[in-house]
Amino acid sequence: MKVLVTGGLGFIGSHTVVKLIENGDEVVIVDNLYNSKLEVKDRIKEITGVECPTYVIDVQNKEELTKVFKEHRVDAVIHFAGYKAVGESCVKPLEYYDNNLNSTLVLLEVMRDYKVHNFVFSSSATVYGEPQRVPMYESDPVVEATSPYGETKVMIERILKDYAKVDKEFNCALLRYFNPIGAHKSGLLGEDPNGIPNNLLPYIAKVATGELKEVNVFGNDYDTVDGTGVRDYIHVVDLAKGHVLALNKLKTNPGLVIYNLGTGKGTSVLEMIKAYEEASGVKIPYVIKERRPGDIASSFANCDKARDELGFTCDFTVLDACRDGYHFQVEESERKKKAK
Q: Is 269 in the site for ligand UD1 (CB under 6 A)?
A: yes
**HSE (side-chain half, CA atoms, 13 Å) at 131:** 22
Of 27 and 86, nearer to ligand UD1 (C-beta) is 86
User: Under 8 Å CB-to-CB from 250, ≥6 apart: which residues?
Assistant: 76, 118, 119, 120, 171, 172, 173, 257
The residue from 12, 21, 52, 86 that contacts ligand UD1 (CB under 6 A) is 86
Task: Please name which of 275, 63, 110 lies closest in space to residue 182, comparing C-alpha atoms.
Answer: 275
Q: Is 15 in the site for ligand UD1 (CB under 6 A)?
A: no
Q: At what angle do helices 39-48 and 11-22 cross, to 10 degrees?
A: 30
Minimal distance, residue 222 CB to ligand UD1, in Å: 8
The residue from 35, 155, 218, 304 that contacts ligand UD1 (CB under 6 A) is 218
The residue from 14, 36, 100, 179 that contacts ligand UD1 (CB under 6 A) is 179
Contact window for ligand UD1 (CB under 6 A) among 131-139, 167-175, 195-203, 254-262: 195-203
Catalytic annotation on 149?
Answer: yes
Catalytic one among 55, 96, 149, 276? 149
Task: Please name which of 43, 44, 68 lies closest in space to residue 56, comparing C-alpha atoms.
Answer: 68
Q: 55-89 burial, b if ≥16 CB within 10 A, otherwise e?
A: bebbbbebeebeebbeebebbbbbbbbbbbbbebb
Q: Is 203 in the site for ligand UD1 (CB under 6 A)?
A: yes
**Restricting to residues 112-131, which ones interact with ligand UD1 according to CB under 6 A?**
124, 126
Q: Is 265 in the site for ligand UD1 (CB under 6 A)?
A: no
Minimal distance, residue 179 CB to ligand UD1, in Å: 5
Q: Is 200 in the site for ligand UD1 (CB under 6 A)?
A: yes
The residue from 48, 102, 216, 313 that contacts ligand UD1 (CB under 6 A) is 216
Distance CA 85, CA 83 (A): 6
Distance CA 6, CA 77 (A): 8
Q: Is 294 in the site for ligand UD1 (CB under 6 A)?
A: yes
Give contact residues for ligand UD1 (rule: CB under 6 A): 86, 124, 126, 146, 150, 179, 198-200, 203, 215-218, 229, 231, 269, 292, 294-295
The catalytic residue positions are 149
